[in-house]
Amino acid sequence: MRFLSAGVKTAVLQSRRMASLLINDSKYAFLKDLGLSETNSGVFNGKWAASGPVTQSFSPANNLPIANIQNGTTEDFDKAVVEARKAYEQWCEVPAPRRGEVVRQIGDKLRANLQNLGALVSLEMGKISAEGVGEVQEYVDICDYATGLSRSLEGRIFPSERPGHTLLEQWNPLGVVGVISAFNFPCAVYGWNNALALVTGNSLIWKPAPSTPLTAIAVTKLIEEVLKANNLPGGLCSLVCGEGDVGQALVKDKRVNLVSFTGSTEVGRIVGQQVQGRFGKLLLELGGNNAIVVNDDADLDMVVPATVFAAVGTAGQRCTTTRRLIIHEKVYDQVLERLKRAYAQFESRIGDPLESTTIIGPLHNHEAVLKFKASIAEAIALGGKVEYGGKVLERDGNFVLPTIVTGLKPDSPVVLRETFAPILYVLKCKDVDEGIRINNSSAQGLSSSLFTSNLQNVFKWMGPKGSDCGIVNVNIPTSGAEIGGAFGGEKETGGGRESGSDSWRQYMRRSTCTINFSKQLPLAQGIKFE
C-alpha cells in the first residue's frame, strides 16, 4: 500500500470493503437472486433514485455487513409523495375487483420468492428460517384475504325518516398511506398495510426501519415487476429508506392522508400527537407487555410448549412475545420446573438463524444485548431470582440465553417495561380474578392468553371485566395471531387495526349521502321562494 497513490489506495480499500460484504459470499446467493447488489438504492418512486448517505445493513448473527444502501433524504421523500399522489389519482378510479387482481399477482410474486425472501428476513432481522419464511407467508395470506375483500367493500343503505328519501353509505379511498415499520417484522407489517391499502384504492409510501432496508428494497423490487406488468405507475408503492428524519417528514406531511406507524410506544406517542395535530388519520401498532395467565384447571401439557414458543420465539423480539407468566399458586412449582427443563433443552439450538436446526436466533443488534443485560441487572437489584439463563453468549453475533426470572412483584418497574429480549417474569396468582388484575396492570394492551378448561373463566376473560387487551386468546399463546381474525391492541399499544375483520375501513373514508327521490323538499316546507 505504501507505494500506491491516494486514488489507487481508495480503490483498493473500496474493493476490499466490497469483497467482505456477505452479498459476495456464495452462501448468500439468494440475495442476488432477489435483485440486490453490493450497493442498493433505497428510494423508489417509479424510478430508483436515492440521494442520501450510503449506509450498511448488518447480519445480527455475526455483525458483518450484508450490502450497502443509499438512503433517502427529505427531498427524496418530497418527490416520492408527488409520485404517490399522481399514482393515486389513476389508481382510485380502477374498480376495486381489478385492484384485487393486482394484489393477487403481488401475492403470487411473493409466493414464487418465498424461500429467498424468507432467508433475507432471517439474515437481516435475525429470526430463524421458519419464522422468516412464515413472515413472508403472512404477506401472501393477506394478499389472498385482500383479493377476496376487493369484491366485498360494502356500503349500506338505511331507511330515511322522510318520505321519498334514502340514506346511502359509500366508502372511498383516503389518498396516500404512509407506512413506518419496525425492524422486527420487516416484511409482514408492510404486507398487512400494502394489501389492504391497495385494494381500498390508496397509494403507499413506505419508510422501513433503518436496520432492515434490504428486505424493504427486495419486496419493493418484486412489487415493481407486478406494477410494470400491469402498466401501473411505480409511484403507487413508493419506498424511502432512511432514519427518523424521513419518518418525521412523512408524519408531518399533510399530503399523507393516513400514517400507519408500527414501532415502540415511545416513538408512537410522538408520532400520534403530531399526526393528530394536523388532523391526519392514524393507525398505531405499538409495544406490548403480554401475559399468559395459567389457572389451576389448565392443561399443563399445553401450557409449557405454548409458553416456550411465545417467550423464546424470535428471541423475545415479537410485539406479542410473552413477557409475564402468571401462574395459579397450586400449579406454580410444577409449571416452573417443567419450563426450566424445556429451556435447558433448547440451549444447544441457539445459533445461526439460517441453519435448519436452530430454534433461537440472535438479538437484532448490540444495543439490544445491552438492554437485555440492564434489565437482568435491574431485576436482580429489585430482588428477582434468575432461574434460568441471564447471560450473554461468548461468540460472534448478538446471542443471549433465554431467561426466566422469579420473585419480583407484578408492579416492579422492570416487569412493567417491555424489554425487547427473551426475558420471562414468572408471577403467582391466587385465582383467575387476580390473574386478570395482574394482566391488566401493564400500560400496554396488545396480547394476552388464559389457559383454563372452565367455560365460565373463558367468558369472564373475554368480557368487560376480563383482559383489557386487543387479543384475548384462550389455550393458545400470546403470539401467532391469524391474519383475518385478529391484530392490534388497546391502551399504550396505540389503537386501530392493521389486520382483522374490519380493518379495511381504516384505509377508507365513509361518505354518507341522503338522496331525495321525491318531488318534495320537506326541510323547506312552509317557506315560499320566489
Residues of this chain that bind ligand NAD (CB under 6 A): 180-185, 189, 207, 209-210, 243-244, 247-248, 251, 262-264, 267, 270-271, 285-288, 319, 418, 420, 446, 489, 493
Strand order in the sheet with 165-173: 157-159, 165-173, 508-516
| Min dist. Cβ of residue 493 to ligand NAD (A) | 6
CB of 418 to ligand NAD, least distance (A): 6
Nearer to ligand NAD, 71 or 307 (CB): 71
For residues 303-320, one letter each, b for 16 or more C-beta atoms within 10 angstroms of the residue's C-beta and e for the rest, the string is bbebbbbbbbbbbbbbbb
- When the beta carbons of 162 and 505 are compared against ligand NAD, the nearer one is 505
Give the nearest distance from C-beta 250 to ligand NAD in angstroms: 7
Q: Which one, 80 or 303, has the nearer CB to ligand NAD?
A: 80
Report, in Å, the least distance between residue 423 CB and ligand NAD. 14
Contacts of residue 31, defined as CB under 8 A and 6 or more positions apart, other chains included, come to 22, 23, 66, 67, 120, 123, 214
Cell numbers for 313: 420465539
Complex with ligand NAD: residue 335 or 446, whichever CB lies closer: 446
Q: Using alpha carbons only, what angle is made at residue 434 by residues 431 and 435, rounded to the nearest 5 degrees?
A: 80
In the complex with ligand NAD, the residue whose CB is nearer, 284 or 429, is 284
189-210 core/surface letters (b: 16 or more CB in 10 A; e: else): bbbbbbbbbbbbbbbbbbbbbb
Catalytic-residue membership of 418: no
CA distance 309 to 292: 12
Of 149 and 189, CB closest to ligand NAD:
189
For every residue of 257-325, DSSP letters joined together read -EEEEES-HHHHHHHHHHHHHTT-EEEEE----EEEEE-TTS-HHHHHHHHHHHHHGGGG-STT-EEEE
Catalytic residue (choose from 83, 131, 285, 418): 285
Using CA atoms of 184, 190, 195, 198 in order, give the dihedral in degrees to the nearest 10: 170
Q: What is the distance between the alpha carbons of residues 450 and 264, in angstroms, rounded to a whole number?
A: 25
Name the 3-class secondary structure at 237: strand
Residues identified as active-site: 285
